[in-house]
Chain A
Amino acid sequence: MQKINPVKTEVRPTQKQNVLSEVSRLKGEGYRLAQMCSTKVEGGYEMTYTFGKGYDLLHLRFTVAPGDRVESISHIFPSAFFYENEIHDLFGVPIEFMTIDYHGGLYRTAEKYPFQ
């Protein structure tokens, strides 16, 4: 019989100003970035940054108001720039200090960003 790897999932609420320190701590604990996404909610956007360690997932969750600037985590997790540019292009959430900033040009579509 196959040995089954158990999975733990946790949603950890945080505040926008604490994201960098939380993400740095997760990096130190051996997590890797699994995904980043944004969801439109009443009064802004709900941001979900997902980190994986083994088969466990941890979702860092915070909300931003329209126009609120979010600091990039791409200098902590280099792969984050791709997700952050996507969030910027699709939802218009301004993300600062990305290691590669496409300025709305990640998606080469005729439709102007953000797509929201």
Chain B
Amino acid sequence: MSTRSVVPFGPHHPVLPEPIHLDLVLEDEKVVEAIPSIGFVHRGLEKLVEKKDFNEMVYVAERVCGICSFMHGMSYCSAVEHIMNVEIPPRAKYLRTVWCELSRLHSHLLWLGLLADGFGFESLFMQSWRLREKILDMSEASTGGRLISSVNKVGGELKDVDNAMLRSFVETLNRMEPEIREMAKTFLNDSAVRSRLEGVGVLSKEKAHSLGAVGPFLRASGVPFDVRTTGYLAYGDIDFEPVTSDAGDCYARTAVRINEIFQSINVIRQVVAKIPEGEVAVPVKGFPKGETMMRVEQPRGEALYYVKANGTKFLDRFRIRTPTFANIPPMLEMLKGSQLADVPMMILTIDPCISCTER
């Protein structure tokens, strides 16, 4: 007869850079149920719409998360621009696309490092983060900030990037690509790594879709859902296909993110080749009135931004449905039936961002 017990996982755990807690109900070593708790670092940022005007909220949105900072700020601005019928200049759309893909690159490289650290492969962790530093150098050179870029405003961008700098980014990425391919071989082919990831944490295509999974977590289960294919910003002018895998396990999620790194490099190459000249912002007058729900494909998946404005300088509501918030319920389903020893790897492979979740 099996023994049933409850094992607390987190809020502090070697594989978790941020606090989340799970009560794991076990039968011997098998997980039969997992119940999450969040709120250890809840900041109530959405409620700040009562105290910060709609322009100041750009800086609040950028501080929801350090990794997705640019995308949070950009998406908030896009939502307000949509309400105010503001069309930003084409060059601003292309620049936003470059910064979005730089965010995806450094997020995925960060995650690969955390994964390597999680299964104890320290040199692989260091290689991932060494490469990530070069992406952060590009962010710093073009925006002035390595993580919090503060380059967005309602109506466009606060600064332009000259074409010579953009071309130098492509040259740097061209030099980095073979290094990333070399590193990817270890992630995808090393027998010790594969033994920790293959066949572990399988989530079926049907479960992933019905439980609301998003991003690489969803695409690794075989669903080609990528909001960039709706053509927002400059994505409508760029050739790319959603990266998918059918296996639905931890290995598939790793492979999807690695292939998305090469996809992002390719997207940046195309954007830099096509970027038009011109202004990067338009003047915006008045206050927003109306509501919209903006959606973007963040590194961790689709994020939804709901903005409701009443015609004054303060918004009625700003709400973000972050990818991690959407991925927690399918993660709980994935954990059922797994072995306790595999739980850290499984949680890592949804790339949880608690900072986003605790907005």
Contacts and interface: CB of A to CB of B under 8 A. Distances in A.
Interface of A: 1-7, 9, 32-35, 37, 39-41, 48, 50, 55, 57, 59, 77-79, 81-82, 89, 100, 102, 105-109, 115
A34 B47 CA distance: 21
A33 B212 contact: yes
A4 B229 contact: yes
Nearest to B41: A109
Given A7-B230, A32-B212, 9 more contacts: A5-B229, A34-B304, A37-B319, A55-B230, A57-B293, A78-B333, A89-B39, A107-B39, A109-B39
Interface of B (DSSP majority class): mixed
A39 B38 contact: no
Given A35-B321, A39-B317, A106 B329 contact: no
Interface stretch (B69-77, B194-202, B237-245, B346-354): B237-245
Contacts, number: 89
Contacts of B38: 106-108
Contact of B316 (A1, A39, A82, A105): A39
A55 B227 contact: yes
Interface of B: 21, 35-40, 42, 44, 47, 209-212, 225, 227, 229-231, 235-240, 293, 295, 304, 306, 308, 316-317, 319, 321, 325-326, 328-330, 333
| 9 A-B pairs with the lowest CB-CB distances in the bound complex, closest first | A107-B39, A79-B329, A4-B231, A35-B321, A108-B39, A39-B317, A79-B212, A37-B319, A5-B229
8 contacts: A2-B229, A9-B293, A32-B212, A35-B321, A57-B293, A79-B212, A108-B38, A109-B39
A30 B236 CA distance: 27
A90 to B, nearest CB: 8
A45 B325 CA distance: 22
B237 to A, nearest CB: 7
A39 to B, nearest CB: 4
Given A2-B238, A2-B240, A48-B306, A79 B211 contact: yes
B312 to A, nearest CB: 15
Given A2-B238, A39-B308, A108-B38, A82 B325 contact: yes
Contacts of A48: 306
Max count, chain A CB within 10 A of own CB: residue among B227, B321, B329: B329
Nearest to B322: A35
A37 B40 contact: no
